[in-house]
A = this chain, B = another copy of it.
Amino acid sequence: MNISQAAKLSGLSVKTVRYYADIKIVEPARDIQSGYRSYSNDDVAKLNFIGKARRFNFSIEECRELLSLYQDKNRSSKEVKKLTLAKIASIDEKLKEFHSLRDELSHLVNCCNGDDRPSCPILDELSK
C-alpha cells in the first residue's frame, strides 16, 4: 500500500511515516515504476508498535530497541522489563520536578492579589 494508507492505518501522519523511513526504523519496499514507498502489513504493524511506544514516552532510540526485542523470538522478558522500569523511573523524576514546580507556583499565585496595583510577590520572588 502507499504511504497515506499506511499512515492512516497506523494513526501517524504521512510526514512522520516518511521520517521513520528516513531514519531507517521502518523501511518500506519501493515501487520500481514510480519510486513510491510501498508498505506491507508488517510495516504497518511496526508503525503501530512505534506509535504506541512513543505515546508511552519512549524515545525513538528506545523504540528501536524495543522493536528489535519484539522481533527477536528468543529475547527474555527481563530485558524489556528493564527498559520499562528505567522509563518509569525517568517519568517519576519528571513527576517530582513538576509537582514541586506546581507547588511553588501556586504558592506564589496565592500570595498575589492579582489586582491593578503593581505590587507583585511573583515578580518579587523571581528577582530575589
Which residues of A pack against B, CB within 8 Å? 45, 48-49, 52-53, 56-57, 66, 69-70, 73-78, 80-82, 84-85, 87-88, 91-92, 94-95, 98-99, 101-102, 104-106, 108-109, 112-120, 122-123, 125-128
Contacts and interface: CB of A to CB of B under 8 A. Distances in A.
A117 B84 contact: no
A122 B81 CA distance: 8
Main SS class of interface, A: helix
Contacts of A122: 77, 80-81, 84
21 contacts: A45-B127, A49-B126, A52-B125, A52-B128, A56-B101, A56-B104, A75-B118, A76-B116, A77-B112, A77-B113, A77-B114, A77-B120, A77-B122, A80-B123, A84-B122, A87-B105, A88-B105, A91-B98, A91-B105, A95-B98, A95-B102
